[in-house]
Amino acid sequence: NSLSLGFSGGVKSTLAALTFTTLTCGLAVANAGQTQKSAEQLYHDHCQSCHGIARMGAMGPALFPENLSRLRKKKALKVIENGRMATQMPAFAKVLNQEDMAKLVEYIYTPAKETPKWTLADIKTTQIQHFDQSKLGNKPLFDADLMNLFIVVELGDHSATLLNGDTFEAITRFKTRFALHGGPKYSPDGRYVYFASRDGWISKYDIYNMKTVAEVRAGINTRNMAVSSDGKYAIVGNYLPHNVVILDAKDLTPIKVVATTDAKGVSSRVSAVYNAPPRHSFIVALKDVKEVWEIPYSDKGGVEVYKGWAHDYRKDSGEGKVEQWKVNSAFPIRRIATEDYLDDFFFDPDYIHLIGASRDSHNGQVINLDAKKKVATIEMAGMPHLGSGITWDYQGKTVFASPNIKDGRVSVIDMESWQVIKEIKTEGPGFFMRSHSNSPYAWVDVFFGPNKEKVHVIKKDTLEIVKTLAPAPGKTAAHVEFTKDGQYVLLSIWDEEGALIVYDANTLQELKRLPMKKPSGKYNVFNKINYERGTSH
């Protein structure tokens, strides 16, 4: 698993085994009185285990001036002192003195000696075909309802469990790459699942044969990935380099690398990439410039088919003008200018509106993707975690609810008027929220603060919390997913000695507890491939 990264200066640096090493983001014990160490040494001792060798990112993001354009040095110092909310970044105020922290700030704003690059050719050299897929059988090697399977990601030892969603028994458990992040994505038929690791590895796993079949390193510091609705393409969004990479979903051959620069040529990290099924396109959210991209991937009938679809769509929404853009295998870019940066996103169920918020402004911007313009502002307090938002019907309207990573509240928003109709008070800031169309309840965790062991159950038709669970005292309880029929709920005890807890989704009684190693997200095949509105997409 050793890997070489190319640099523009031709220098080679080996990130041997970084991808599979169990690194822990922790604080090295230091003597706060000493300031003899160089910035490089301080970085090595305190930052490298998370931010990677040569600042290229691992569990934490890459740290180069190009990636810090939105962060002033003063703010960077505060982040080192106090940690960063809703990330794994700890506070160093008690570990390092002011002088050492200032040295680190200067260091991370110093350009790299050699600009890290990762070209299409570099990506190609990493491609691995573990198995000849054409020789693998087309029938599952186990007996289970294929639509009610779960993949559970276990961060503790970088593994994943394939779980039977009827019996709640593990079918198999397998190694993943180091530090997966974001939801794994299924092929449209649910047979394959694609994982992205923070250090750029994309792995394709054949569920039927229980084998990782192909892998490729698509970036140095990756955000997430998405798979097209026709199952042909995967897109990967990167922090380093600033680009998106389009892969052939079959064997992960890289097809195209698109540098993410705005209309004026300013380069940007990618916040996240999404598949927008009704639009037959990928949406690319850029982090450092005020632009969102749409990249159509449908090659079925070219422009005319796409236009036809767009027309039907707009008939329902009554908004916007049909815009033409070429749809072909060249993956054209449709640029949508935004008024503010967008760090966090949510799409309405029809993928006409993107709701985005910047980390600094709190308010949500509602952008009509067809009309390419902002159509509303949602006034929200704190820091809504839109990416975890879900929708349901409430008093004849569709509402959208989002937890908040700064305050103990869930904001419930009317999706017609874009007004907040209720702020549900919770026992602390939350990260993930979930429901299912067949369930009367929505679940939200209290991921941060002293009440991290708690999970609230909200009744969807009254918008009231009806139950608060604390299944493992002192341990974070977070991230739920429902079975395909919405009758059972699976919750993570997010701890090295953690567990997956199964609840009856109606009586809210615990039914089973499976020991797991820091289980994070869990992903039900049916809910994911059908874009069930209670879950993340």
| Interhelix angle 98-108/39-46, nearest 10 degrees | 100
Residues 494-513 that bind ligand DHE (CB under 6 A): none
CB of 323 to ligand DHE, least distance (A): 27
CB 443 within 8 A of CB 534: no
Nearer to ligand DHE, 153 or 310 (CB): 153
CB of 409 to ligand DHE, least distance (A): 18
Q: Which of 165, 183, 190, 429 binds ligand DHE (CB under 6 A)?
A: 183
CB of 86 to ligand DHE, least distance (A): 4
Residues 39-68 that bind ligand DHE (CB under 6 A): none
| Interhelix angle 98-108/73-82, nearest 10 degrees | 130
Using the contact rule CB under 6 A, the part of the chain among 21-29, 176-184, 201-209, 438-446 near ligand DHE is 176-184
CB of 398 to ligand DHE, least distance (A): 21
SS3 of residue 105 by DSSP: helix
Residues 252-311 that bind ligand DHE (CB under 6 A): 272
Nearer to ligand DHE, 116 or 182 (CB): 182
Report the alpha-carbon distance of residue 13 to residue 446 in Å, rounded. 41
The answer to the question of residue 527 lying near ligand DHE (CB under 6 A) is no
Q: How crowded is the C-beta side of 147, counted as CA atoms within 13 Å?
A: 8
Nearer to ligand DHE, 87 or 361 (CB): 87
- Alpha-carbon dihedral of residues 196, 197, 203, 204, nearest 10 degrees? -30
Say how many C-beta atoms besides its own lie within 10 A of residue 183's C-beta.
23
Amino acid at site 207: I
Q: Which of 52, 57, 116, 182 binds ligand DHE (CB under 6 A)?
A: 182
The answer to the question of residue 200 lying near ligand DHE (CB under 6 A) is no
The answer to the question of residue 449 lying near ligand DHE (CB under 6 A) is no
CB of 139 to ligand DHE, least distance (A): 29
Nearer to ligand DHE, 313 or 431 (CB): 431
Report the alpha-carbon distance of residue 463 to residue 454 in Å, rounded. 18
Q: Which of 27, 86, 376, 508 binds ligand DHE (CB under 6 A)?
A: 86
The answer to the question of residue 536 lying near ligand DHE (CB under 6 A) is yes
The answer to the question of residue 428 lying near ligand DHE (CB under 6 A) is no
CB of 454 to ligand DHE, least distance (A): 16
SS3 of residue 216 by DSSP: strand
CB of 224 to ligand DHE, least distance (A): 4
CB 407 within 8 A of CB 459: no
CB of 289 to ligand DHE, least distance (A): 17
Q: Which of 483, 478, 489 is nearest to 528 (CA)?
A: 483
Report the alpha-carbon distance of residue 365 to residue 316 in Å, rounded. 22
Residues 354-413 that bind ligand DHE (CB under 6 A): 387
Is residue 318 exposed (0-12), middle (13-18) or buried (19+ Cβ within 10 Å)? Answer: exposed
Q: Which of 222, 238, 426, 520 binds ligand DHE (CB under 6 A)?
A: 520
Using the contact rule CB under 6 A, the part of the chain among 25-33, 80-88, 162-170, 390-398 near ligand DHE is 80-88
Site string for ligand DHE, 212-241 (x = CB under 6 A): ------------x-----------------
CB of 223 to ligand DHE, least distance (A): 6
The answer to the question of residue 486 lying near ligand DHE (CB under 6 A) is no
Report the alpha-carbon distance of residue 394 to residue 505 in Å, rounded. 19
Q: Which of 167, 168, 172 is nearest to 142 (CA)?
A: 172
Using the contact rule CB under 6 A, the part of the chain among 11-19, 39-47, 178-186, 214-222 near ligand DHE is 178-186
Q: Which of 69, 87, 119, 438 binds ligand DHE (CB under 6 A)?
A: 87
- Alpha-carbon dihedral of residues 278, 343, 360, 534, nearest 10 degrees? 50
Nearer to ligand DHE, 365 or 520 (CB): 520
Residues contacting ligand DHE: total by CB under 6 A: 14
CB 255 within 8 A of CB 246: yes
Q: For residue 302, what are the CA distances in angstroms to 258, 271, 325?
A: 21, 28, 9
Phi and psi (nearest 5°) for 366? -100, 120
CB of 215 to ligand DHE, least distance (A): 18
Report the alpha-carbon distance of residue 398 to residue 134 in Å, rounded. 45
CB 45 within 8 A of CB 37: yes
The answer to the question of residue 98 lying near ligand DHE (CB under 6 A) is no
**Residue that is written with structure tokens 């209309």 in the block:** 263
Q: Which of 25, 7, 196 is nearest to 115 (CA)?
A: 7
| Residues of this chain that bind ligand DHE (CB under 6 A) | 86-88, 155, 181-183, 224, 272, 387, 479, 520-521, 536
